Structure 1
C-alpha cells in the first residue's frame, strides 16, 4: 500500500472528527438516574445488541441492573422500563407517546394537520363516534368482513395457500365503512388506499436511522427529504379519498340545507366530523377537503396496520394449534345457531373462549420493547430514580408479558384459557397486558379492533379449516426488538358440511 505524508492530515482530521462526535454524543447522566449499562464501542453503544440480540441483551441487563436501566442506542440514551416501573410512565402526563414517535414515524412531515390538537380530536372522535356506537356498527362490520372473506379468500374446495397480504384489505373494508359511510366505501380502490396507506408511508422510512447517531431530528429531516422534492408514495391515496369524498360531502351539505330538521344523519366519522362546531362549513373547498382527508388517514394509521397484524398473528396461532380447534369451533357453531348468522354485540360478548384465545395471542406476540414515551419534564419514580426531561423511555414488553408472578413458572407457555379463567377480556388493559397500552395512554379504538378480530375469526373458523404449512406454530419475524407475524402463509380448506 502506498503511503505518503500527504495522507497524514486526512487521518488526523478523521480522528479529530471521530473524537468530536464522541465527545458530543458521550452520555451525560444527571443525578439519581437509572443505572447505565456499560458499553465497549464509542458512539455505537448498545445499538448492535439492541438490533440483533434484543431479547437476550435486555434480559441480561435487567438481571444485572434491575428495573429500570439505561442503554445507549442510535446516538441517544434510552431508559428501559419493565413490569415494575413502566406503569408509572403510562399513568402520568409527564410522558408523551406522540412526541416520542415523531422521530421514528414522522407522519407530521407529510400530513400538515398532524399535531397534538388534532390527535386529541382524533381520540375524542374514536371514543364518541366509534366506541360509543359499537352495537349499531356491529352488523355493518360483519357484512364488510363477509365481503372481504369472499373476495380475499373465496372458495377453497381444494386446499389453498393464502399469504398475509389479504389481511390489511380485510381489516380496511369495515374501517372504511365506519369512517366514510356505507356508500362510498363500496369502491375497491378506496378500500385499497386505506389498506396500503401505512405500508406506503413506511417506504419513506426505508433508510436505516444511521443519521440518528448525529441527531434523531436530523435523521427525520434526512429520511423525509425526498417528500420535499416531490416523491410522496402516499399522495395517491389522499387523491383517491378526495375523489370519492368531495361529492359525498357536497351532497350531505345540500341535503342538510334542503331537508332541514328532516335530514337523517349518517352513522360514520365523516358525519361526526362535519357536525363538530370546530369543523362546520358551508362549502367544501380544497382546504377543508385536505383537513378532513388527513384527519381520516390519521385514524387509518392508528387502526388498520396494527389490527391487521394481530388478526394475522392470531389466525396463525389458531392454525398452528390443532389441539384447540374443536373447542373453539364448537363455541362458534353454537353462537352462529343462536344468532342465525347475524351477530350482535351480545353474541360477540359470548365468544368467551375465542376472546380468551385472542388475548393470549396478544400477550405472546413477542414484541420485546416498543411503545416509546418521551419525558416532557423531569419525573421521579417511586423508587427515587429520576427520568430527565427529553429522555425516551422504552416499554420492556417482554418483561411484562412473560412475568412469572402473573403467568406462573413457565410464562412463555401459551395459555388459551388464561383470560377466561381470570375474567380478563381481550380489550381490557391491565398491568400484565400492554397490547393496547395502559392508563392515560390506552388505545381508544381497542374495543372496535378486538370486535373486528373476533368477528373475522368467527366467520373464518366457521367456513374454513385453517392450517399452517408445517402443521405447527410458525415463528414470528423479528426486526430489532419488534415482532411481525410469520410469513409462511396459511392453508385454507372449505369445511365439510
Structure 2
C-alpha cells in the first residue's frame, strides 16, 4: 500500500465527531485570539474602564453585554463614576463618556478637532451598508442647512399633502372598523438599521464574511440597485435641462446639482448615495419618535385629550390654514414630544464624535487623537435613579405636560426642533442633526393628521414596550396597536398647497 493510500484510509477511519470537535476547538482558539486583540482605537489611562470584567476578557463578551444590557451598564457606570468622565468598553471600540456639562466647551472647539461623519459611518457599519459615502463629503449637510431648511415653510403644505396621501393607503379608511398595525412599520421600513443591529455583535474581522448570511444584506443590495436605477437617470436628465431651476422643484437632489462645485459634488453616484444616506438617517428615527409619542398619548388619555383640544382650538384660530408656524405653536403637543424624547430617546449615547487632534478641556480631561467620545442621553434620569432622595432631579415617569406646566416661557424659547435646550434629541453644536427642521415638521404633520382622523387603542389593553439593542431604543417591532377611522374628524384638518 502506498503512503498516500495509507493516509487516505487513516483519515477515513477517524471518528467524524472527533474531527468536528477538533475543528470547533481550533476555530474557538482563533476567535479567542482575535477577540483578545486590543482595539485599534486609542485607549486612555486617565479614566476608569467600564464593562470589562478582567484584563484578558475577550472583547466579544463586552459586545454581547452591551447589545443586551446597555441601560444597566450605563446606569452602573454613572453610579460608580459619580457623573464624572469614564471609559466605556463597547467591544467594537472604547468610548470616553463625558458629562453633558462639557458640551458647550466641546461646541467651541475648532471644527477640525471633532468629527461626526467618521463616527456616523462607523456606527452604521458604513463599509457593509454603503453609508461610508458620507466620508467623502459633507455636501448633503450643507445643502440641508443652506437650502432645504430655510425653505421648509413653503415646502410644508406640499410635503404634508404627500404624507397624508400615503397615510390614507396605510391606515384603514372604513368608518368604525378596527385594524391592527405595527406603528413603526406603518410609517417607514428601513433595513440599514436591521443590518447594523445584527452585525455590531459580530467581531469586525468576521463582518465582511457573515454579513452575506443575512437576508437584510441581500435586500439592501437590491435596494441600492433599484435606487441607482431610478435616481441616476433622473440626475442625468436634470443636468441636461436647459433652464434648470432648482427653486421650482425644491428637492435635495435639485439643489445639490445646482450648487455643486467640485468633481465629488458633481459625481452622480455620490449624489445618489448621499440622498439615500439622508433618507436612511432621517426616516426611521422620525417615524420612531412619532410612534413612541403616539403610544404615550394613547396610554395617557388625559394628555391625549389636552393635545386634541389644543389642535381643535388652533384650527379655529387660524381658520383652517395650517403652516409650519401653526404647527410650531402647538405647545402642548411640543411638550408631549419633548417628554417622549426625554424618556425614550432614539439612542442612549448622543453627541458621538471622533477626536482628530489632541485637546485638553478646562476641567482637566485630555482627549487624544483617535478616541471616540459620547454623552449619555438620559443623564438626568440616571441622576434621579442614583439620587432618588435628593430634590431637584426630574423623575423617570411620564408627564406629557411637564415642559408646558413647569416653565411655559422657557418651553416656548426652546422648541422641540432646537439644539439649545436640556434635551439632546437632535444633538448639539455645528454638527447637530442637519435635517431636524424637516423632521420636526414631518413629526407634527403626522401627529396632527393621526389625532384628527383616527382613534387608537392597545391590543388587549397592553401598551407596546420599548426594546434596547446596543445603544438604540425603539418600540418593540413585534408590538401592535389598533386603529380605526373616526366617524367624524376632530376638525377636518387639510394641510395642502393652495391650488
Q: Is the contact made by 1:401 and 1:432 (CA closer than 8 Å) also made in structure 2?
A: no
Structure 1 vs Structure 2 CA RMSD: 3.9
What's the counterpart of residue 472 of structure 2?
A: 482
Change (3 A) 1:219 1:427: farther
When structure 1 is superposed on structure 2, of 397-406 and 18-27 the one drifting more is 18-27
Q: Distance in 1 between matches of 2:223 and 2:99?
A: 39
Query: Which of 58, 62, 66 pairs up with 1:50?
Result: 66
Q: Distance in 2 between matches of 1:300 and 1:369?
A: 21
Q: Could you report, residue by residue, the CA deviation over 1:386-430 in whole angstroms, capped at 9, with x for unpaired residues?
A: 222222223211214655599943421223233332323111123
Q: Is the contact made by 1:95 and 1:376 (CA closer than 8 Å) also made in structure 2?
A: yes
Structure 2: gaps spanning 5 or more residues: 1-14, 489-499
Q: Could you report, residue by residue, the CA deviation over 1:22-54 in whole angstroms, capped at 9, with x for unpaired residues?
A: 4756999555x2223462362246445433333
What's the counterpart of residue 329 of structure 2?
A: 350
What's the counterpart of residue 415 of structure 1?
A: 399
Instruction: Show the 5 A alignment for 1:181-196.
Output: 196=189
Return the TM-score normalized by structure 1: 0.77
Instruction: Show the 5 A alignment for 1:7-406.
Output: 22=36, 24=38, 30=44, 33-37=46-50, 39-40=53-54, 42-44=57-59, 46-66=62-82, 67-74=84-91, 76-89=93-106, 91-92=108-109, 93=111, 94-108=113-127, 111=130, 114-118=133-137, 120-155=138-173, 156-169=175-188, 196=189, 198-200=190-192, 202-203=194-195, 206-212=198-204, 218=205, 221-222=208-209, 232-245=218-231, 248-249=234-235, 252-253=238-239, 255-256=241-242, 265-278=248-261, 288-366=267-345, 367-370=347-350, 372-400=352-380
Q: Distance in 1 between matches of 2:64 and 2:203?
A: 15
Structure 1 residue 456, shift from structure 2 partner: 0.8
Structure 1: gaps spanning 5 or more residues: 170-195, 213-217, 282-286
Task: State the secondary structure of the residue aligned to 1:211.
Answer: coil
Structure 1 residue 246, shift from structure 2 partner: 5.3
Structure 1 residue 489, shift from structure 2 partner: 1.6
Task: State the secondary structure of the residue aligned to 1:411.
Answer: coil
Structure 1 residue 362, shift from structure 2 partner: 1.3
Q: Is the contact made by 1:139 and 1:342 (CA closer than 8 Å) also made in structure 2?
A: no
Q: Distance in 2 between matches of 1:319 and 1:103?
A: 36
Task: State the secondary structure of the residue aligned to 1:373.
Answer: strand
Change (3 A) 1:391 1:113: closer
Q: Could you report, residue by residue, the CA deviation over 1:445-467 in whole angstroms, capped at 9, with x for unpaired residues?
A: 11110111011110110111222
Task: State the secondary structure of the residue aligned to 2:261.
Answer: helix
Change (3 A) 1:264 1:409: closer
Change (3 A) 1:16 1:245: closer
Task: State the secondary structure of the residue aligned to 2:352.
Answer: strand
Change (3 A) 1:289 1:219: same
Q: Is the contact made by 2:125 and 2:196 (CA closer than 8 Å) also made in structure 1?
A: no
Q: Could you report, residue by residue, the CA deviation over 1:316-335 in whole angstroms, capped at 9, with x for unpaired residues?
A: 11111112121111111122
Q: Distance in 2 between matches of 1:496 and 1:225?
A: 49
Change (3 A) 1:361 1:25: closer
Q: Distance in 1 between matches of 2:340 and 2:31?
A: 48
Q: Distance in 2 between matches of 1:289 and 1:243?
A: 12
Q: Distance in 1 between matches of 2:315 and 2:176?
A: 22
Q: Distance in 1 between matches of 2:282 and 2:30?
A: 48
Structure 1 residue 292, shift from structure 2 partner: 2.8
Q: Could you report, residue by residue, the CA deviation over 1:259-299 in whole angstroms, capped at 9, with x for unpaired residues?
A: x89x9742222221221242799xxxxx9542332121121
